[in-house]
Amino acid sequence: MYKTHNDLADNVRKAAIEYLQARLSDAIDLQTQTKQAHWNVKGPNFIALHELFDTVATDAAGYADLIAERIATLGGIAEGTAAVAAERSTLPRYPLTIVQGTEHVEALATALGAFGKAVRANIDQAADIGDQDTADIFTEVSRGVDKNLWFVEAHNQANR
């Protein structure tokens, strides 16, 4: 870690960076998974899903940026290459052969749900180590992910 005048103890910063780095990999993976859906969706709801998936991908890129900047703020190095994200992501692998809108909705909902669950766990972990700012960032991300999950899942919920 780099030296900083941030008054959080080194052990707190180190732990927070670890939590943030894990979610950075997931956020990058979420963005690329969402782009996979955006580029390949087919079916009667094409344009609505195509546009929704692009919005979700943009939001995921914003989460990645917010998380990476917090890592740097704490004196860490944001490790955000595609190769690192592919190696470290905890999200389920996205199926590359699906095309139907309902299939993409289900796959993306699975990814958003997994990301949201991990982020919520990090809220508590960051608060427990005394880094309320990182907990707040995770809370912001969680709210956005939950909203996007609602938007995505709504496309298949009417059929149930």
pLDDT tens, position by position, 96-147? 999 999 999 999 999 999 999 999 999 999 999 999 999 999 999 999 999 9
Residue 5, domain member (yes or no) = no
Domain total for the chain? 1
The pTM of this model reads 0.95
Residue 145, domain member (yes or no) = yes
Distance CA 17, CA 67 (A): 9
Residue 147, domain member (yes or no) = yes
Give the CATH number for residue 24: 1.20.1260.10
Distance CA 144, CA 157 (A): 20
Residue 99, domain member (yes or no) = yes
Residue 14, domain member (yes or no) = yes
Confidence of residue 5 (pLDDT cuts 50, 70, 90): confident
Residue 87, domain member (yes or no) = yes
Cβ atoms of 101 and 45 within 8 Å: the answer is yes
Residue 146, domain member (yes or no) = yes
pLDDT tens, position by position, 10-49? 999 999 999 999 999 999 999 999 999 999 999 989 999 9
Q: Supply the range of the domain harboring residue 22.
A: 10-157
Q: How open is the CA angle 124-67-56, to the nearest 5 degrees?
A: 100
